[in-house]
Amino acid sequence: MLSPDSIAFLKRLLDAAGPSGFEAPAARVWRDEARTVAAVIGDVAGNSVATVNPGAPITVMLAGHIDEIGVIVTWIDDDGFAWIGPIGGWDPQVLVGQRIRFAGREGDVIGVVGRKPIHLIKQDARDKAVKFEDLWVDVGARSRDDAERLLAVGDPGVIDTRVVELPGGRIVSRAIDDRIGAFIVLEALRRYAARPGVATVAAVATTQEEIGYHGGGALIAAQRIGPAMAIAVDVTHATDHPGSEKKESGDHRLGGGPVLARGSIISPVVFGILRDAATRLSIPCTVQAAGRETSTDADAIHLARQGIATALVSVPNRYMHSPGEMVSLEDIDRTADLLAEACRAVTPDTDFTQR
């Protein structure tokens, strides 16, 4: 069960701003909490690493990326309007009418996303999807000089929303993907530390996952740590809402437990360790097929060094890459338990080569 202190930390973490490449505010929140559990270090890529039981003959890495999608100032015009581009994968439709919180030179700067009002849009254009280049942000400036006292080209921003708790043990945040994974790996580390196995376990809040498939912080962390086994923790699409297609994505429900990936880059040995741990703890799980890449940190981690036995565990998430992503607290709690138990199953004699 998640403690009140853990839930309070989760809210602080989700509300901190941290788009890809600008994760420092969220990473500071994570490291402050991690120091209550273990020794913590950072690296030049912005990764944060907390380690329990250091010096053991075998190491497990738990990775959840701490970055979120965001926007970046690309131009400030003569009238003081800020024009923006995407950080990560956006549907621009969700930005219309939102407030943006920029990390300005003197602190947070709030602006509103502007668009031509519906009354002034010609009839034949009303049904067309809005594009990034159609949107600007109004920070209340009267001129470029006014705006540039607050903002500069290259300043990042996020949608200015806060965590909301809903009935049924559900929470909503713009940063569930994948701040929730960073939370879970630290919560799992806390539970492992309370009843440790024989392995060293390193929980990593990784960076830059949302901006492409170059490996980001996860590859750098895996190269540095050199684990025998790694588990990436991310979100996957919940398919329990109207319009979802189960034959394409599977049946993954909020409250239905963690989702175990099974497929081409997933170590069958680590998949088996997770499946057996779920059975021992009576944790409900679903399985998601991944015939190629997973589009998560697992894709980079499994190729690090001489190859790392890697698995992916995901939390069902509704409304991904929107201001209102939604997950179940029960799924978060079960996933942390599952990871801690899987780590306890690893010993120096564990053979990660499929025979």
Q: What is the pLDDT of residues 179-230, one digit of tens each?
A: 999 999 999 999 999 999 999 999 999 999 998 667 789 999 999 999 999 9
Nearest CA to 227 out of 9, 347, 115, 61 is that of 61
To the query of whether residue 341 is one of the catalytic residues in this protein, the response is: no
- Given the candidates 3.40.980.10, 3.40.50.150, 3.90.400.10, 2.40.30.40, the CATH classification of the domain at 70-159 is 2.40.30.40
Measured CA to CA, the distance from residue 41 to residue 36 in angstroms comes to 13
pLDDT of residue 126: 65
Crossing angle, helix 24-34 and helix 4-15, to 10 degrees? Answer: 160
Closest-CA residue to 222 (of 347, 294, 308, 344): 308
Catalytic residue (choose from 68, 209, 330, 341): 209
Please tell me the predicted confidence (pLDDT) of residue 139: 96
4-68+174-344 placed in CATH 3.40.800.10: no
Total-model pTM: 0.95
pLDDT for position 125 = 62
Q: So what's the pLDDT on residue 122?
A: 63
Q: Which position has the token pair 């992503």?
A: 325
* 317 contacts 259 by C-beta, under 8 angstroms: no
Residue-wise pLDDT for 127-161, tens only, equals 777 788 889 999 999 999 999 999 999 999 999 99
- All residue ranges of the chain with pLDDT < 70 are 116-126, 212-213
Is omega for the bond preceding 145 within 30 degrees of 0, making it cis? no
Those residues whose C-beta lies under 8 Å from the C-beta of residue 248, and which sit 6 or more positions away, are none
- The full set of domain ranges for the chain reads 4-68+174-344, 70-159
CA-to-CA dists, residue 294 to 264, 314, 318, 320, angstroms: 9, 11, 18, 16
pLDDT reported for residue 127: 72
